[in-house]
Amino acid sequence: MDSSTASDGGYFETLLERYGVPWLALAYDCCGDRHLAEDVLAEALVNLHYALLKGEVENLEAWMTTTIRRRASDRVRKESAQRRLRDGLTEKRSTKTSQAENDADFDESFIAEPRDWQAIKEALPSLPERQRDVIRLRLFEKLSPAEVAIRLECTESAVYAAQHKAIGNLRKIISGEKKE
């Protein structure tokens, strides 16, 4: 297949007429949820578009089958992790975990004086979006890593990594160095 095929809107309509139902059925078989299956198929079709533009697709059916299975697996894994986070968060709240315990892992020692808060607020826009969101939720809204992970739809370890990078970047920005 050539890249001109990907730019033809009628091509995708033809594909959906011919393969839409079997591809959706495959996605549903892989993830067990109709709405999730539709999302998986949409993601796979977007990936197909870009792969066609790059000339990476030799066997359409095999490529889409593999992509749908991988996307479905990724989405199911992500949904499962989010569910575990929500369930774990509910358990923590039901055992009345204090806010101090939730915040014990957040190092605010880089904020020595009230003027540092202002410097942080001014430096936030220069951080990448994920780092900015993590700092805003952790520092200003006082959310736990689990709550931030649910809000940002990522894992707790991703929250910790973004937090670590953000604090390092904030230190550099505030001190006048270049950020990562």
Q: What is the pLDDT of residue 4?
A: 52
Q: Give the DSSP H or E segment for 120.
A: helix 114-123
Phi, psi for 138 (deg, rounded to 5): -75, -45
Specify the CATH class of 3-80 in words: mainly alpha
Q: Can you tell me which residue has the tokens 């892992």?
A: 105
Percentage of the chain surpassing pLDDT 90?
37
For residues 136 and 21, what is the distance between their CA atoms, to the nearest angstrom?
A: 43
Query: What CATH number does domain 97-175 carry, 3.90.1150.10, 1.10.10.10, 1.20.140.160, 3.30.390.30?
Result: 1.10.10.10
Please report which confidence band the pLDDT of residue 46 belongs to, taking 50, 70 and 90 as the band edges.
very high
Residue labelled with tokens 């095999």: 62
**Structure tokens, 153:** 């739809």
Q: What is the pLDDT of residues 155-172, one digit of tens each?
A: 889 999 999 999 888 888
pLDDT digits (tens, 9 = 90+) for 51-61: 999 999 999 99
Q: Angle at the Cα of 140 (from 139 to 145), degrees rounded to 5?
A: 45
Q: Which residue has the higher pLDDT, 161 or 142?
A: 161
Residue ranges of domains in the chain: 3-80, 97-175
DSSP letter for 55, please.
Answer: T
| 38 pLDDT tier (thresholds 50, 70, 90) | very high
